[in-house]
Amino acid sequence: MDSNLKQKTTSGLKWSAIERLATQAIQLVVMLVLARMLGPQAFGLIGMLAIFIAVSQVFVDSGLSSALIRKLDRTELDYSTAFYFNIAIALVCYLILYISAPYIADFYKQPELTSLTRVLALVIIINALAIIQRTKLSINMDFKTQAKASLAAVCISSIVAFTMAYYGFGVWSLVGQTITYTLCNVIFLNILHKWLPKLSFNFDSFKQLFGFGSKLMLSGLIDSIYQNIYQIVIGKKFNVLDVGYFTQANQLVRTPAITMTSIIQRVTYPMLSSIQNDEQRLNYAYLLTLRLSAAVIFPLLFGLAVVADPLIPELLGYEWKSASLLTSILATGLLLYPIHAINLNYLQVKGRSDLFLKLEIIKKVITTIILFITIPYGINAICIGIVIQSYLALVINTYYNGKIGSLSGSSQLRALLPIWLIAITTCSIAWLITSLISVSPWISIILIIIMATLFYILSIRFLQKDLYNHIMLNILPKKLTKNHE
């Protein structure tokens, strides 16, 4: 990796991490406080609408942002064409949801969903106004600007959410938080990175972008439906409280998983795209990215699985106790989420959006089969099915990546397995030692975290020396590295 690309990637990784970690940390704290103030039902109602917003966002983007990032000879006309398409589709999606709102409420037997849908869906239009700004900043690996906009937006939206919850707005506090965050983020992005589209739409440009992006759109559509189908099934088959428990457990697990994915994916996709014609450099960068991601997310989520039982009632209140086991189960499977994202990045870099779509269809067929098998056995069984699907998806992704490149699927799995074993072993040992001591829940949680962290760092240092040295020399601040030496 040449020095210029390495510098841009390292800088991008740093600022992407600052934005994602800080933003998600604030949102996590806000979510925990709101969970105590509002209870499971409010989160259950919003969870029921998640699929409609997520699917609409996929249609609005239609894979055009990824197509723009991958295209090396992009022009301002390309950006303008994508912008007008984004806005047009956003308006169509909002209109459809506005009309469909009463039917959505009737489907769930929750009358308040009519007004909630019509207001919450406004984020679709608002978000479309800044898709191109984010794309241009990502192409330039300028994540510092995005970090500023996101952090300012999350602070303002958090204040709005707390204020609304305090004055008794209930579930509308969550709606207010979402809309305020999206609106502020768009405003700040337009202030920090001024861009205006040309008054033109080029059909040739659109065909080229959509030719690549459409397959990613279909893949994203399938994935969005899959990611949110569980709230629909649980909401229809069980009740709004169960949706609340599942939504909260899912969000607690996905917050670190998606944060890690976002940090890595936003930086590595443009980085890998820039070296797509150098197979040796591409393979090296890809494999290193897999291992670095695993080294962070595996212990984090195995640790969450271990401490979930004492942690959730202490954080959210005893009424959320039912979410503890769901959190532990989901954490053991969703720790692979960042790995899946990197696998699929590789397919995009290789220009195989057709294979990207094919794999999504295969995996979602498997997911659907597992879901229908587990539904009769309750929510716990559904969560176990999610874990099984996640590990099957890893095997499928790595196998097909090996088919289109020179890095075999087995070599990718061999690179990940030692880190997986180290993470689960160190967390389990820490939990076992702590379980033998009679202490308060918070003392137990703190002891598990401290012991697991120490065991894990020592294990990585001696069993994965090259990875440890890379982190010390290239990821951590210079002062820490000098102290280490």
Q: Identify which of 104, 122, 85, 92 has the alpha carbon closest to the alpha carbon of residue 45.
A: 104
pLDDT of residue 353: 65
Which residues 6+ apart lie within 8 Å of 26 measured at CB?
A: 151, 154, 155, 158
pLDDT of residue 266: 62
Encode pLDDT of 20-53 as tens digits.
677 778 878 888 889 888 888 898 899 889 889 9
Selected residue with higher pLDDT from 395 and 434: 395
Min mean pLDDT across 30-39, 169-178, 370-379, 464-473 is at: 464-473
Which band of pLDDT confidence, cut at 50, 70 and 90, is reported for residue 474? low
Q: What is the CA radius of gyration of the chain?
A: 22
Which band of pLDDT confidence, cut at 50, 70 and 90, is reported for residue 98? very high
pLDDT of residue 274: 65
Which residues 6+ apart lie within 8 Å of 196 measured at CB?
A: none
Encode pLDDT of 230-274 as tens digits.
888 888 888 888 888 988 898 888 888 877 776 666 666 666 666
Selected residue with higher pLDDT from 325 and 439: 325
Min mean pLDDT across 46-55, 130-139, 336-345 is at: 336-345
Q: Where are the alpha helices (DSSP H) in 238-322?
A: 240-274, 279-316
pLDDT of residue 479: 47
Task: Report the mean per-residue pLDDT for the chain.
Answer: 83
Residue 472 has pLDDT above 80, yes or no: no
Count Cα neighbours of 34 within 13 Å in the Cβ-side half-sphere: 30
Three-class DSSP category at 194: coil
Per-residue tokens: 205: 């440009």
Residue 176 has pLDDT above 50, yes or no: yes
Which band of pLDDT confidence, cut at 50, 70 and 90, is reported for residue 397? confident
Residue 443 has pLDDT above 60, yes or no: yes
Mean pLDDT (whole number) for 432-436 = 80
Which band of pLDDT confidence, cut at 50, 70 and 90, is reported for residue 485? very low
Q: Say if residues 345 and 138 touch (Cβ distance below 8 Å).
A: no
pLDDT of residue 270: 63
pLDDT of residue 356: 74
Domain boundaries, the chain: 239-485
Q: Quote the CA–CA distance of 412 and 408 in Å, as a whole number.
A: 7
Residue 327 has pLDDT above 50, yes or no: yes
Mean pLDDT (whole number) for 69-84 = 82
Q: Identify which of 258, 208, 243, 250 has the alpha carbon closest to the alpha carbon of residue 20.
A: 258
pLDDT of residue 4: 58
Mean pLDDT (whole number) for 298-324 = 88
Selected residue with higher pLDDT from 13 and 21: 21
Residue 7 has pLDDT above 70, yes or no: no
Mean pLDDT (whole number) for 326-344 = 86
Encode pLDDT of 156-172 as tens digits.
999 999 999 999 999 99
Alpha-carbon separation of residue 323 from 4, 35, 307, 308 (angstroms):
46, 12, 13, 9
